[in-house]
């Protein structure tokens, strides 16, 4: 059975390729920008020569028109993608954009008609399929123009969506990069404040020991050297192992015990086989340092209790100490250590940590509970 095709079908075939090209581009919106370009070019090449699968021999004029019209659609797509939308819509020049779209619609209708007349596509098709019968040429021209306008609108719509998607992705990445840089700068500043604050108090302790207990002072210097190695090397990175952080805490406790009297009780409990998560370095020290600074008395029995445990994917740190003075001025007297640590927690573990502080005036006990969620 012979296969017949008329000019209306040929006109639709011209635009079918472009429609599929735009659909392919729309599908690639969620992908990276190079992938969008890849699929557009691939679809252009494949669909331009799609009529080769038809069981009919088409004239050379049709193929020339097929290639040129698809190049026009591709040019319109990229003109809007790279120029019209970025230069007009991004800058809220909507009126100019609408005028440009309308002018482009008239231009593509004219170009489509001009290609038909210049290449002699209708005459070439009639030579193969014979003269068309019972058709109104004026209505046919209007139908072709309508199809061309619809295709141009589809191209504008899809290219605008892809361009806006690209801009949103670019803005989001830029915002994330800015926020990350801001957070890193702030964290570096906070760490630089915490470390000198710690060494100031520690060196003051060693200085006091040099007059009363030379051997203890030597042990303190040796312990401090291990701690300095941790601070110098491990705090350069954003993360360290929980094991190293706990070892640092143990060294600090050992250092502080050298100057404590027999009336002070220090209890450090650590669950065995805690998973070695990666944590921010120097994160626990300000809370423990605060407990020793404000929980120790030379006149009254006192204590510091530290407990580190794991529950599923959560690390729980509990620090308790006795109190001997009003805690309202704690932050003021402690300086920047606690304030900065709270800020670091907010930056490093947003929604992944809880911090509660309880100052019980009746029991004269100050409790800090910190949980870190690693799930």
* pLDDT band at residue 275 under the 50/70/90 scheme: very high
Residue 362 located in a structural domain: yes
Domain for residue 15, yes or no?
A: yes
CB 97 within 8 A of CB 104: no
In a domain, 92, yes or no: yes
> Is 75 inside a domain boundary?
yes
In this predicted structure, the answer to whether residue 334 has a pLDDT above a threshold of 70 is no
Query: Which one, of 229, 230, 341, 217, lies nearest residue 290 by Cα?
Result: 341
Q: Please indicate whether residue 305 or residue 109 has the higher confidence score (pLDDT).
A: 305
pLDDT band at 25 (very low <50, low <70, confident <90, very high): very low
Mean pLDDT lowest for which of 19-28, 61-70, 85-94, 128-137? Answer: 19-28
Q: Is 310 exposed, middle or buried (0-12, 13-18, 19+ CB in 10 A)?
A: middle
Q: Are residues 264 and 172 in the same domain?
A: no
CA nearest 113: which of 153, 75, 143?
A: 143
Global confidence as pTM: 0.53
Contact 370, 348 (CB under 8 A): no
Residue-number span of the structural domain to which 132 is assigned: 7-176
Q: Which of 119, 150, 176 is the last residue of a domain?
A: 176
Burial 290-304 (b: 16+ CB within 10 A, else e): bbbbbbbeeeeebbb
- Residue 102: pLDDT over 70: yes
Q: Are residues 158 and 307 in the same domain?
A: no
- The 3-state DSSP class for residue 299 equals coil
Number of domains the chain contains: 2
Mark whether 270 and 150 lie in a shared domain.
no
Higher-confidence residue of 135 and 246: namely: 246
Establish if 227 belongs to a structural domain: no
Maximum average pLDDT range among 67-71, 208-212, 324-328, 361-365: 361-365
Confidence band (pLDDT; 50, 70, 90) for 36? low
Residue ranges with strand state E in the chain: 240-241, 264-270, 278-279, 302-311, 314-322, 353-360, 365-373
Q: Judge contact between 89 and 97, C-beta under 8 A.
A: yes
C-alpha distances (whole Å) from 120 to each of 10, 64, 132, 133 are 13, 11, 15, 19
Residue 110 pLDDT > 50, yes or no? yes
Is the same domain home to 286 and 163? no
* Predicted pLDDT at 276: 93
CA dist 242 and 375 (Å) reads 15
Q: Given this model, what pLDDT does residue 332 score?
A: 44
Give the phi and the psi of residue 168 in degrees, each rounded to 5.
-60, -40
Q: What is residue 43's predicted lDDT score, i.e. its pLDDT?
A: 62
Reported confidence tier of residue 40, pLDDT bands at 50, 70, 90? low
Is the model's pLDDT at 2 over the cut of 50?
no
What does DSSP assign to residue 56? S
Say which CATH number the domain at 277 has. Answer: 3.30.565.10
Average per-residue pLDDT in the chain? 77
62 and 154 within one domain = yes
Measure the CA–CA gap between 321 and 304, rounded to whole angstroms: 4
Residue 190 lies in a domain: no
3-state secondary structure of 268: strand
Domain-located, residue 322 = yes
Q: What confidence score (pLDDT) does residue 371 get?
A: 96
In this structure, are 24 and 116 located in the same domain? yes
Of 123, 141, 176, the last residue of a domain is 176
Same domain? 156 vs 265: no
**Does any domain span residue 58?**
yes
Are residues 274 and 134 part of one domain? no
């Amino acid at each position: 059975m012979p296969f017949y095709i008329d000019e209306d079908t040929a006109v639709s075939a011209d635009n079918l390729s472009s429609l599929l090209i735009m659909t392919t581009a729309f599908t690639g919106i969620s992908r990276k920008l190079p992938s969008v370009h890849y699929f557009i070019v691939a679809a252009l090449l494949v669909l331009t020569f799609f009529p080769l699968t038809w069981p009919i021999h088409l004239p050379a004029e049709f193929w020339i028109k097929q290639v040129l019209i698809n190049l026009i659609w591709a040019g319109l797509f990229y003109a809007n993608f790279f120029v019209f939308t970025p230069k007009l819509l991004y800058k809220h020049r909507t009126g100019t954009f609408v005028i440009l779209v309308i002018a482009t619609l008239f231009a593509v209708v004219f170009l489509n008609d001009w290609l038909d007349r210049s290449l002699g596509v209708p005459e070439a098709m009639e030579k193969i399929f014979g003269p068309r019968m019972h058709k109104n040429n004026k209505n046919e021209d209007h139908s072709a123009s309508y199809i061309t306008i619809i295709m141009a609108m589809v191209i504008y719509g899809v290219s605008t969506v892809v361009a806006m998607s690209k801009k949103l992705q670019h803005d989001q990445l830029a915002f994330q990069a800015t926020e990350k840089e801001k957070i890193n700068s702030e964290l570096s500043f906070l760490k630089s404040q915490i470390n000198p604050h710690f060494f100031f108090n520690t060196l003051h302790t060693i200085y006091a020991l040099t007059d009363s207990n030379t051997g203890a002072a030597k042990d303190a210097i040796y312990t401090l050297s291990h701690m300095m190695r941790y601070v110098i090397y491990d705090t350069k990175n954003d993360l360290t192992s929980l094991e190293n952080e706990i070892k640092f805490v143990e060294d600090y406790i050992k250092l502080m015990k050298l100057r404590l009297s027999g009336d002070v009780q220090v209890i450090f409990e650590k669950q065995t086989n805690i998973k070695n998560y990666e944590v921010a370095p120097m994160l626990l020290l300000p809370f423990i340092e605060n407990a020793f600074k404000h929980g120790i008395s030379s006149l009254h029995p006192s204590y510091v209790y530290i407990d580190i445990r794991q529950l599923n994917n959560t690390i729980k740190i509990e620090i308790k100490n006795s109190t001997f003075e009003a805690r309202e001025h704690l932050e003021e007297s402690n300086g920047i250590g606690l304030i900065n640590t709270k800020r670091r927690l907010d930056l490093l573990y947003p929604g992944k940590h809880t911090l509660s502080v309880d100052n019980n005036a009746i029991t004269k006990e100050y409790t800090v509970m910190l949980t870190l969620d690693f799930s």
